[in-house]
């Protein structure tokens, strides 16, 4: 029930990057916390905020769904059947990497469409290679993992405070942080 792995932060910035390619909507399916919904509602990010279960506006090219902290496995399976890509963020530490590996096995057993799933390493230290090592470890386990590693920058926290995309924060590392988002956007597209 509190700040987690970075789903909402990624959802908003990814939606902002996708909006440069075509009309984009975001659905915040975390009813209790509403991090991404509040972020979009407070700011001037050119992404349409949709209520959970609302119809997708005609002409929408990209729909980003931000999930709650621990979604039911059945809801995740449903998402894999209805989405082109399901991103599962993980922090680059052994606790999270193991939990992510277990989650993927559970999803497979529950009949998820595994072709849609990509793990993405988030909140990686910008210095050193901990993030890359976690990515490579997951890959060696046979997991589908994005090449892009999302690094940990305070710019991401500033972005939420200021209700902007991370590229629009007045932060010396804003460009690095936005670069990660753009790189991930290219991968998922
Ligand atoms: N790449 C990042 N770098 C630094 N801080 C981050 C990053 N991603 C998320 N955070 C911070 O981590 C906390 C949890 O992020 P959030 O996106 O709300 O996670 P979730 O939606 O998974 O609960 C917030 O304080 C957020 O600012
Ligand atoms: Mg969230």
- pLDDT by residue for the chain (189 residues), tens only, comes to 556 999 999 999 999 999 999 999 999 999 999 999 999 999 999 999 999 889 999 999 999 999 998 899 999 999 999 999 999 999 999 999 999 999 999 999 999 999 999 999 999 999 999 999 999 999 999 999 999 999 999 999 999 999 999 999 999 999 999 999 999 999 999
Structure tokens at 112: 């998820």
Ligand nearest to the CA of 121: 1
CA–centroid distance, residue 64 to ligand 2 (Å): 13
Ligand nearest to the CA of 160: 1
- Pocket perturbation via mutation, ligand 1, pick of 3, 163, 181 by most ligand atoms within 8 A of CB: 3
Rounded to the nearest 5 percent, the helix, strand and coil shares of the chain are 45, 15, 40
Distances (CA, A) of 94 to 98, 121, 132: 6, 12, 13
Ligand 1 first shell, C-beta below 6 A: 3-9, 35, 69, 122-123, 150, 152-153, 156-157, 160
Residue whose Cα lies nearest atom 19 of ligand 1: it is 6
CB atoms within 10 A of CB 82: 12
Each domain of the chain, given as residue ranges in start order, spans 1-70+173-189, 71-152
Q: Which CATH architecture has domain 1-70+173-189?
A: 3-Layer(aba) Sandwich (3.40)
Q: Which CATH architecture has domain 71-152?
A: 3-Layer(aba) Sandwich (3.40)
Q: How far is CA 108 from the centre of its chain?
A: 20
Residue whose Cα lies nearest atom 26 of ligand 1: it is 157
Structure tokens at 53: 């279960």
């Amino acid at each position: 029930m509190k700040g987690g792995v970075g789903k909402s932060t990624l959802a908003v910035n990814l939606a902002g990057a996708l909006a440069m390619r075509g009309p984009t909507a975001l659905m915040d399916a975390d009813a209790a916390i509403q991090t991404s919904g509040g972020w979009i509602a407070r700011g001037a990010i050119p992404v349409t905020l949709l209520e959970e279960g609302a119809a997708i506006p005609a002409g929408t090219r990209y729909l980003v769904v931000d999930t709650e902290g621990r979604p039911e496995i059945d809801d995740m399976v449903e998402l894999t059947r209805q989405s082109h890509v399901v991103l599962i963020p993980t922090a680059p530490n052994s606790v999270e990497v193991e939990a992510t590996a277990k989650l993927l096995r559970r999803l497979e057993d529950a009949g998820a469409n595994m072709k849609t799933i990509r793990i993405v390493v988030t909140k990686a230290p910008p210095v050193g290679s901990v993030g890359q090592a976690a990515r490579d470890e997951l890959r060696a386990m046979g997991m589908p993992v994005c090449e892009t590693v999302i690094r940990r920058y305070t710019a991401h926290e500033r972005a939420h405070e200021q209700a902007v995309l991370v590229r629009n924060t007045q932060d010396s590392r804003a460009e690095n942080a936005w670069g990660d988002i753009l790189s991930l956007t290219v991968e998922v597209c």
